[in-house]
Amino acid sequence: MQIVNTISESRDAVRAWRSAGQSIALVPTMGNLHAGHLKLVNEAKKKADRVVVSIFVNPTQFGIGEDFETYPRTEREDQEKLNDSGADLLFQPAVSEVYTQDAKTVVSVTGLSEWYCGASRPGHFNGVATVVCKLFNIVQPDVALFGLKDFQQLTVIRTMVRDLNIPVDIVGVETVREASGLAMSSRNGYLTSEEKTAAAKLYQSLCVARDAILAGQQSYEEIERKALLFLQEAGFQPDYFSICRTNDLKKADVDDVELVLLTAAKLGKTRLIDNLCFSR
Ligand code: PAF
């Protein structure tokens, strides 16, 4: 696997593959790679001839007082995992390579970026959309893969690609879970072992709500209220629990068929998110 730190090196590598008629997949990450990321790389290998992985802890998607400084940076381990995974290129730029100091342009998917996680993390999705748009412009992949775990992020990115006519296919890849049901996340590393056991209740809350809907319960507000209570009793400080339409993340009503349950909650100091998609 080739490792590059500059935009021009990454463009050179991609250009050579392109002139040989090869297709390119991009897996954008912030590093501290776990089984969920490696699944993205695996799926990427099925979709294109060459796989580029980016590792960039993007400062613009972290708010004041969030964990940008302490976000786990595990460069050597990540490189070893990627080598074994069969990725072709690791693009690992410095902040100064990605952002010029007087940058004036922000990509903002309005509305969607202000709901749910966007309400608690103002500016977060603008940071995500801007950096992903930049990565698309740098690598110019045919396909890019993102985890379904960050469902709102995936919806923001799909909307941006549609609205800006960016020629890239966006693929959502199934969440990888621990045996307990806890969705894999780099932030799980912040949990104490006691918290890690309790954290599995986040997924349980989603399963209970899904089962209630599938059993025919029609008061979605009541289901959401019970889920928030369940999380509180399990020791979380819930942020939101929302029954939404899969396509645009607006609140679902009882006639909607394709649903996604979105939730975020704090356990101790750690903010966790999870979701569950299903058809009614
Ligand atoms: O999901 C992530 O790791 C990040 O939000 C992403 C998509 C790499 C953008 O920085």
Ligand 1 atom closest to residue 61's alpha carbon, by position in its atom list: 10
Q: Which two tokens stand for residue 238?
A: 């819930």
45 falls within a domain: yes
Give pLDDT tens digits for 239-265.
999 999 999 999 999 999 999 999 999
Q: What is the pLDDT of residues 200-244, one digit of tens each?
A: 999 999 999 999 999 999 999 999 999 999 999 999 999 999 999
Q: Which residues form the catalytic set?
A: 37
Residues 205 and 163 in one domain: no
CB atoms within 10 A of CB 278: 15
155 and 70, same structural domain? Answer: yes
Local confidence band at 158 (pLDDT 50, 70, 90 cut-offs): very high
d(CA 210, CA 215): 9
Identify the pLDDT of residue 231.
98
Q: Is the pTM of this model over 0.75?
A: yes
Residue 178 belongs to a domain: no
Residues 43 and 97 in one domain: yes
pLDDT 10s digits, 102-155: 999 999 999 999 999 999 999 999 999 999 999 999 999 999 999 999 999 999
**Any domain includes 151:** yes
Are both 113 and 220 inside the same structural domain?
A: no
Strand 258-267, strand 50-55: pairing: unpaired
Instruction: Enter the tokens of residue 130.
Output: 């801007």
Provide the β-strand partners of residue 264.
Answer: 240, 273
- Domain end: 115, 149, 173, which one? 173
Query: How high is the pLDDT of residue 241?
Result: 98
Q: Which of 156, 8, 66 is nearest to 146 (CA)?
A: 156
Q: Could you say which of 138, 173, 208 is where a domain stops?
A: 173
Q: Are 151 and 277 in contact (CB under 8 A)?
A: yes
HSE-CB for 126 with a 13 A CA cutoff: 14
Does residue 119 sit in the same domain as residue 254?
A: no
Chain CA centroid to CA 162, Å: 18
Count: domains in the chain? 2
**Reported confidence tier of residue 94, pLDDT bands at 50, 70, 90:** very high
Question: Quick one: 206 and 168 in the same domain?
Answer: no
Last residue of a domain, one of 142, 173, 204: 173
**Ligand 1 centroid to residue 125 C-alpha, Å:** 10
Query: CATH no. for residue 266?
Result: 3.30.1300.10
CATH number at residue 166: 3.40.50.620
* Mutation to probe ligand 1, out of 121, 136, 153, 188 (largest number of atoms < 8 A from CB): 153
In the prediction, which pLDDT does 269 show? 95
Which domain does 273 fall in, by range? 186-279
- φ and ψ of 3, to 5 deg: -120, 125
